[in-house]
Structure 1
């Protein structure tokens, strides 16, 4: 399968990271001299979204809880529920990472998303590098995707193993406003997204929107509200000192769109 030659390198990188974490050694260049903890304190967030993926309406909720593991490390647990394409989608995820809030993050991440139409499991590595008003980040992992319906992406119902990747750049024009551009590789196809998030004057309450396009006429437009728990701080600090992105929510557009029923006649509205 195309891209599978990268898996040995990914596995080796993950093995080295796990060995360092188990030994209590800091990830290189990230937590070696961190003056602030990897996670400021136990914190979390809840969000709700509504929109459309491949011209089919969808809606859902997501949540995370993050906690410090000593000074240099952190752990996070993700959950989500999404309804669309006449199916209920459930997801769980986890992260274990080293982070210096002034420099960046390096860790392991897992996501499992299940529904009547597809299952999507991703295990990989994630990293972020922090500049003053810019965050550069990536998630790369092994992806096992099992679709039980015909799809818009040729071969997806029979080819199950892929490399999933997400590469993004987030800009903070103000500390409470984030604008990001990202590229995703799923099922050997390309997806391009733009995201915006603004923390309102109400402490911990933010509004967000995400739009994207991809191969085989993929389209996504979602928006919603997010509530953060864990003290009062700017949005940029929440992203760098509290919880990483919910990995299931980050990929919800492409994994849901992946199992769009290709037998649906063009121009016919899909039912939920």
Structure 2
């Protein structure tokens, strides 16, 4: 595995640990429990998910397949604060992708979430591509409607030359969703993504699907944007901790979103160059005579 990929993985893990370990637990205790607010995170919980689909190419073509797994652990920090650490391991067009993220937030499950977010992800492609983000995360709850998103700064790296690396640089990014719970166990969403200097529309749905006594769900998501930026994937999530909950309750009382699937498409993972023989140059053209000796290029 390339050194830059290892650096990106370590950076993502470090961000998650820093946000979790450095949380102001004592500050949380300053809030009075008599205020009647529910805790930011009700209990230690987690989730794992697997997904598969296609990105940036022809849907259904094996060479453009993307898939992998994600995991999150969310823990309460006193009454008013919480932290979450995310991880991803995936394959995109045959290249390994890995990284992590961290959330540190305060939340009233009846009205809002606000916090900070950081992530790092690396591609084991020929360009050693990587992407790192830092920003503010928020959610607002209005009955069955949820507004959620992350806004901040991202840095994109990797490249086969100093010029190519410089062109990548940094820029603003956003992940924004408007979600509506048709029922307590069925969510539909639409939103916007700007990452990797590409705008895209985001559509998705998730429905609770209890399996073997665990809270679980099935989901489908799609992206459609500029520069032929498109993707579709689907998969399953399994939730742990927190008891038997509806989908809307789990999303507002337990875990914030794991955004790392979108980081997969923040950097365009190019295919490795083939090791084939360089084709010979085309033969020179003749000067116009039908029977000449040596030919001279025009």
Which range, TM-score by smaller chain?
Answer: 0.7 to 0.9
Task: List aligned pairs for 1:211-226, cutoff 5 A.
Answer: 211-226=222-237
TM norm structure 2: 0.73
Task: Give the whole-Å Cα distance in 1 for the aligned partners of 2:165 and 2:148.
Answer: 27
**Counterparts of residues 90-239 of structure 1 (less than 5 Å):** 90-117=98-125, 118-148=129-159, 158-202=167-211, 203-230=214-241, 231-239=243-251
Aligned equivalent of 1:255: 266
For structure 2, list consecutive stretches of 5 or more residues without a partner in the other structure.
1-22, 58-63, 275-298
In the alignment, which residue of structure 2 is the partner of 1:47? 49
Call closer, same or farther: CA 1:88–1:262 in 2, change over 3 Å: closer
Partners of 1:77 and 1:32 in 2: CA distance: 29
User: What whole-Å deviation, never above 9, does each CA across 1:1-20 have from its counterpart, x for those lacking one?
Assistant: xxxxxxxxxxxxxxxxxxx9
Superposition RMSD in Å:
2.6
Matched, 1:24 2:36: no
Do the aligned partners of 1:196 and 1:208 also contact (CA within 8 Å) in 2? yes
Deviation for aligned residue 1:157: 6.8
Corresponding residue for residue 82 of structure 1: 90
* C-alpha distance 157-54 of structure 1, shift in aligned 2 (>3 A): farther
CA deviations 1:190-244 (Å, max 9, x no partner) are: 1111011111143411101101111111110100011000111000111110011
Residues 51 and 221 of structure 1 are in contact (CA less than 8 Å); yes or no, is this contact kept in structure 2? yes
Q: Deviations for 1:20-56, whole angstroms, at most 9, x for unmatched residues?
A: 9688279xxxx99561100010000000001000121
Give 1:65 shift: 0.3
Measure how far apart 1:164 and its partner are: 1.1
Larger Rg: 2
In structure 1, stretches of 5+ residues that fail to align are 1-19, 265-272
Q: Hey, which bits of structure 1, 4+ residues long, moved more than 6 A? A: none
Which one has more relative contact order, counting CA pairs under 8 Å at least 6 apart?
1
Normalized per residue, the structure richer in strand is: 1
